[in-house]
Amino acid sequence: MKDNDRAQLPPLIVGSAPNTVTPPPVEYTLDAFTSEEIVSGINNLGTSLWQTFRRDGVGLLISPAGIALALGMAKAGALNDTQAELRGVLRASLREPAHSRGMGALGKRWHRAAGGFALRTAVRLYGDSRFAVDPRFLGVISQEFGAPMDRADFTRPEAARAQINGWVGARTDGRVADYLPPEEITEKTRMVLVNAMCLASHWGVPSGRVVAREWWGQPVQTVSGVVTMGYLSRDGYSVLEVPHGDGDVVIDVILPDREGLLPDVELRVMNDGLSGFFDALTPTRVEVSLPRLRLDFALGLYAPLSSLGMREAFNRWWADFTAIAPALPPNDRLSLSDVFHRSVVDVAEVAAATASRDDARPGGGTADAVFDASRPFLIVVRDTSSGAILFLGRVLHPLGVPAWPPPAPDVLTRS
């Protein structure tokens, strides 16, 4: 697509200034077909990115949904080959504006909190205050994504970094701190694509016993009890599905039968397709032991996204984001230096609200299965209403690793 790429933009507003007031968000009805097409792309992107970061012996957490939301916003401002590459990475089969509207509707659903549960998304574009932004683009991202484009003075890099980090921290209730590491913004920066997602909840084991257990010589608070939850046992591993919020967000914990099997189990699960076991889970009385979980990972996605075919967006000579800023000279094009991804999953042992839960009730007596998560495991966090994968994680230690620096993928590196 060439000229037709501009079909997603409303008529040009003449005489606009860089800080033009944007229209309010519009609530769109998300039909089943649109949701299924978009979610299929999100989940495919997640498994593809996971493979680029696949390194045994390294913990990992990514948010396919959060990454896709950010790339969808960038796609709304891209034209020609740059847009085509973004559409390819997102597996975007829908024409505009259906794809952007659907992405925006899902994103709004994934930012909510109630009763000890919080799911937060921080996705936003920050543009250099020195250039004017096309108001048609501002209308698209404001109405369809509910996210106005913010401006930052990149001639003052540390002040701009503090501005962005402050917004991300506030948007995530303080759970994502120092989103951008030092020196990642320079005076040459033109645009920053903010991309963070976090989940905060509890394991939902009523009247559970909490004890400290050793993980690599470090005490970790762990809750134990008998509950009725979705469960599945297969050759070499078992799966426990823990509901959160109103039950429309679940954490599937994939536990190898013994120490040392995680790489093999991970390969099997990924090759078979993550959806393979979801429908096979059945309500079962399970004696569970689940550790306090605090995972906080930061990743630069330049290399893995480039390996998946998204290259022009990172090249200042080729990137075509002229739907955002059409007046910039060819030698000063808007481009992305990187896509900084931050994901946080924080699951407490217990919470007072669990006493009234019906979907995680004490079984009493003898359990039909035992699920002791005292060794490395995988997690898949899903939105059951849409089927979207919100997080994918490899948990080698339940308290994770420092958020920065990230593990480097064994793929394309910058020259």
Residue extents of the structural domains in the chain: 31-200+295-344, 203-291+350-395
Report the C-alpha gap between 296 and 391 in whole angstroms: 12
158: left (phi over 0), alpha (psi -120 to 50) or beta: alpha
Q: Is the pLDDT of residue 296 over 90?
A: yes
Task: Pick the range with the lowest mean pLDDT from 146-155, 204-213, 327-336.
Answer: 327-336
Q: Measure CA of the first residue to CA of the last residue in the chain; give whole Å.
A: 31
DSSP 8-state code for residue 341: E
Residue 344's pLDDT band, with cuts at 50, 70 and 90, is very high
Q: Is the pLDDT of residue 368 over 90?
A: yes
Question: Which pLDDT value is given to residue 25?
Answer: 64
CATH code for 31-200+295-344? 3.30.497.10
Cα–Cα distance list, 346 to 205, 349, 407 (Å): 16, 10, 20
Please state, rounded to an integer, the average pLDDT across all residues of the chain.
85
Residue 150's pLDDT band, with cuts at 50, 70 and 90, is very high
387: left (phi over 0), alpha (psi -120 to 50) or beta: left
Region 169-182: mean pLDDT is 94
Region 163-186: mean pLDDT is 94
Cα torsion through 315, 45, 105, 200, rounded to 10: -110
Residue 247's pLDDT band, with cuts at 50, 70 and 90, is confident
Go through 123-161 and write b for each residue having 16 or more CB atoms within 10 A of its CB, e for each that does not. Answer: bbbbbbbebbbbbbbbbbbbbbbbbbbebbebeebeebb
CATH value of 203-291+350-395 in 2.30.39.10, 3.40.50.1370, 3.40.50.720, 3.40.50.1260: 2.30.39.10
Question: Which pLDDT value is given to residue 194?
Answer: 93
Residue 58's pLDDT band, with cuts at 50, 70 and 90, is confident
Residue 241's pLDDT band, with cuts at 50, 70 and 90, is very high
Residue 390's pLDDT band, with cuts at 50, 70 and 90, is very high
